[in-house]
Chain A
Amino acid sequence: MARVVLESLTKHFGDVVAIEDLNLEIEDKEFVTLVGPSGCGKTTTLRIVAGLEKPTSGHIFFDDEPVEHLPAQVRDVAMVFQSYALYPHMDVRGNISFPLRMMKTPKDVINERVTWAAQLLGILDLLDRKPKELSGGQRQRVALARALVREPAVFLLDEPLSNLDAKLRVTTRAEIKKLHEQLQKTFIYVTHDQAEALTMSDRIAVLDQATLQQFGTCQAVYDQPVNQFVAGFLGTPPMNFIDCSLGACDGQSVLRWGDVTCPVPEKLIGQVDRYNPSTLVLGVRPESVLVQKDFEAEGITSTVYVVEPLGSDQLVTVEIGDTLVKARMDPDIPFSSGEKVKVNLAPDRLYLFDKAGGKRIGTTRVP
């Protein structure tokens, strides 16, 4: 139906490289999110898939047919823009029916589709209003309806939620996901919000600085990041990174930083011999850090730096050997600044990265 393949896609704007050699295979009916910081090339990629920009080189295939030469108006895509791009001089009905009218669809089919789309998005009562009379959330639904109504092969969504307030964002996220399930079409979604990406997608493509960092299922990308960027980008609060160096102590491998010596499983060390053992980065997620009030327990000695209660949990930042590490803890345990505690890093949730280049050397996390 609509398998989208990007092959060696490159886009230059004059001297600026927006996308460099991007390769991506998106299966039919998949919900794929392109995620990354501003300027990473995700919106440009989306626009190229839409046909709004021509790639400098590379190919795009829709179901094995090359489409990179086709202008936007003949590609079988629909797009929802960040600013919604509703036509201000038409009412909602006019906006939604616009693409159908451009394709010279017969009137009764138009009415049928418009009603269907409006109903699906709960905006039947807004059909006669003008965009300027609508709230942000309503406008967004109209933009979605306009995209739906053509039943295209591929849906492209460019940060559709970023102009909504936080609460609306969360509820609309779920609705879009539901929409995807109902429609059973290919969705390509762009956002800079990693939480959005994780909650909605089947697979995530993480981009940074015009290149694809990693492409895989949410779990895979979260648990098995290929480099420090991906590891640090996904997850809130982000993964803790500790600069350290490799050493040995009593025949066991240890990682050293500050005055801390931390024994680590051999599995983690893996292939350090290929890298410089004195510039390593230890990665551990806040949910894998255990802070214990009981000073007699086993663990690394540290001091509590600051406590941030969140209601559902609390974030305890501890100082371990000059490095600050955040831990996510049960909200009922009372911690206070300056308290002396013992810290455990879950041995089966550790990551080791090469400081130069950020590549992942090894991990104890089992996929």
Chain B
Amino acid sequence: MTRQPSTTPLRYRVPWKKIAIYAMAIIVGIYILAPFTWLIITSLMVEVETLEIPPHWIPHNPTLQNYRAFFDPEFRGLEMQRGTMAYSGGSVQRMRPALRNSAVVAFSVAILNLTIGSMAAYSLARLRFRGSRPLLVFYLGSRMLPAVSIIIPMYMILRRLGILDNVLSLIISYTTLTLPFSIWILKSYFQTIPRDLEDAARVDRCNWLNMMIRVFLPVAAPGLVAAGIFSFLISWKDFLFALMFTATDASKTIPVVVAEFVGPGQTPRTLMATGGVLAVIPPLILALIFQRLIVQGLVAGAVKG
């Protein structure tokens, strides 16, 4: 049987679907990147330029002086409206210690999450014991409650412990908040590691601790990194707790300092934008580098739940 030729004349069929897809992809790309880009552009402008209507999409006089203001305490060549110098100058000075505080807090939280979280996650993933079910519910349930409802009592407890205005208060509270999710991610990941490996290690003369350190945890590294990065990012982003528990440079984190730009007195937009960019760089870099792992972690935590 010979094939019949198609009855419709061979005309150029417009690939509507393909066009729509590429168009949408471009729109989405713009949607994601444009706000960042605008922030960066603003940070490169001279303040007067931000007051132009309509806004300049590309700075006419790009400058790095905003960034210098943050990092060079001697820098005075900033043209600013009088009266704002004192206020925003103060905030500008606070960025560096804030960056340090945020880094210390986020990093410590990540480490604590990994140690405490791995232990609990291992027990839930591998060991069979009465109470594993209620324990799981306990960990998950604690995720469900809004921060606002516990912040007041937490404030009182931390005050009694005397660690308010100390990064320690943030480290402890963030760890508590992020632990349930870390445990969940780690548990899901641990369950994918073949049990044979642990058996082989045992036969190869490892006691439990040795086995964990030499075999299990190295193999579980991707899951650990995911949980670590996750708790790092959550700690970096938090505002409410930092606002409540910090008072001075000694412990203020980035979100608090950045929020201070928005207040009484006209802080130059350019400085705000620059502060914003600086605040965002560390998490952005982490997100870009580890994005595959973060996605895996999110999925494991959310979907497989």
Chain A positions near chain B (C-beta within 8 angstroms): 47, 50-52, 71-74, 77-79, 81-83, 85-89, 98-99, 102-103, 146, 150
Task: Note all chain B residues with C-beta closer than 8 A to A81.
Answer: 196, 199-200
B203 on the interface (CB 8 Å rule)?
yes
**Distance (whole angstroms) from the CB of B199 to the closest CB of chain A:** 5
- Contacting A at CB under 8 A, from B214-268, are 214-215, 218-219, 221
- Tell whether, in the assembled complex, residue B203 and residue A87 are in contact, meaning their CB atoms are under 8 Å apart: no
Interface size class of B (residues with CB under 8 A): 10 to 19
Closest 3 CB pairs of A and B: A85-B200, A85-B196, A99-B204
Instruction: Specify the chain A residue showing the minimal Cβ separation from B197.
Output: A85
- Tell whether, in the assembled complex, residue B205 and residue A89 are in contact, meaning their CB atoms are under 8 Å apart: no
B206 on the interface (CB 8 Å rule)?
yes
CA distance A81 to B200 in the complex (A): 8
Residues 77-94 of chain B, each 1 if its beta carbon lies under 8 Å from chain A, else 0: 000000000000000000
CA distance A128 to B22 in the complex (A): 46
Residues 192-212 of chain B, each 1 if its beta carbon lies under 8 Å from chain A, else 0: 001011011111111100100
Kindly list 8 other residue pairs between chains A and B, CB separation below 8 angstroms, not including A47-B199, A51-B203, A146-B204. Answer: A50-B199, A52-B202, A73-B203, A74-B205, A77-B203, A79-B199, A87-B219, A98-B214
Partner of A103, one of B194, B200, B205: B205
CA distance A86 to B194 in the complex (A): 10
Task: Note all chain A residues with C-beta closer than 8 A to B218.
Answer: 87, 89
CA distance A150 to B204 in the complex (A): 9
- Tell whether, in the assembled complex, residue B219 and residue A89 are in contact, meaning their CB atoms are under 8 Å apart: yes
- Tell whether, in the assembled complex, residue B202 and residue A85 are in contact, meaning their CB atoms are under 8 Å apart: no
Task: Note all chain B residues with C-beta closer than 8 A to A74.
Answer: 205
Partner of A73, one of B197, B205, B221: B205
Partner of B207, one of A50, A73, A99: A73
Most buried by A among B202, B203, B218: B203
Task: Note all chain A residues with C-beta closer than 8 A to B215.
Answer: 87
21 contacts between A and B (CB under 8 A): A47-B199, A51-B203, A52-B202, A52-B203, A72-B203, A73-B202, A79-B200, A79-B203, A81-B199, A81-B200, A82-B196, A85-B194, A85-B196, A85-B197, A86-B200, A87-B215, A88-B219, A98-B201, A98-B204, A98-B214, A102-B206
Instruction: Specify the chain A residue showing the minimal Cβ separation from B207.
Output: A73
Task: Note all chain A residues with C-beta closer than 8 A to B207.
Answer: 71, 73
CA distance A258 to B205 in the complex (A): 62
- Tell whether, in the assembled complex, residue B219 and residue A73 are in contact, meaning their CB atoms are under 8 Å apart: no
Instruction: Specify the chain A residue showing the minimal Cβ separation from B204.
Output: A99
- Tell whether, in the assembled complex, residue A73 and residue B196 are in contact, meaning their CB atoms are under 8 Å apart: no
CA distance A325 to B225 in the complex (A): 63
Partner of A52, one of B199, B205, B214, B219: B199
CA distance A85 to B194 in the complex (A): 8
**Distance (whole angstroms) from the CB of B223 to the closest CB of chain A:** 13
Task: Note all chain B residues with C-beta closer than 8 A to A99.
Answer: 203-205
**Distance (whole angstroms) from the CB of B212 to the closest CB of chain A:** 13
CA distance A73 to B199 in the complex (A): 10
**Distance (whole angstroms) from the CB of B288 to the closest CB of chain A:** 25
CA distance A55 to B219 in the complex (A): 30
- Tell whether, in the assembled complex, residue B203 and residue A78 are in contact, meaning their CB atoms are under 8 Å apart: yes
Task: Note all chain B residues with C-beta closer than 8 A to A52.
Answer: 199, 202-203
Task: Note all chain A residues with C-beta closer than 8 A to B221.
Answer: 89
CA distance A77 to B203 in the complex (A): 7
Task: Note all chain A residues with C-beta closer than 8 A to B204.
Answer: 73, 98-99, 102, 146, 150
CA distance A50 to B196 in the complex (A): 13
Instruction: Specify the chain A residue showing the minimal Cβ separation from B211.
Output: A73
Task: Note all chain B residues with C-beta closer than 8 A to A83.
Answer: 194, 196
Task: Note all chain A residues with C-beta closer than 8 A to B199.
Answer: 47, 50, 52, 72, 79, 81, 85
**Distance (whole angstroms) from the CB of B50 to the closest CB of chain A:** 52
**Distance (whole angstroms) from the CB of B241 to the closest CB of chain A:** 37
Instruction: Specify the chain B residue showing the minimal Cβ separation from A74.
Output: B205
Task: Note all chain B residues with C-beta closer than 8 A to A146.
Answer: 200, 204
Task: Note all chain B residues with C-beta closer than 8 A to A102.
Answer: 204-206, 210, 214
Most buried by A among B194, B196, B207, B221: B196
CA distance A85 to B198 in the complex (A): 8
CA distance A83 to B199 in the complex (A): 11
- Tell whether, in the assembled complex, residue A72 and residue B197 are in contact, meaning their CB atoms are under 8 Å apart: no
CA distance A85 to B196 in the complex (A): 5
**Distance (whole angstroms) from the CB of A240 to the closest CB of chain B:** 40
**Distance (whole angstroms) from the CB of B252 to the closest CB of chain A:** 40
Task: Note all chain B residues with C-beta closer than 8 A to A98.
Answer: 201, 204, 214
Instruction: Specify the chain A residue showing the minimal Cβ separation from B215.
Output: A87
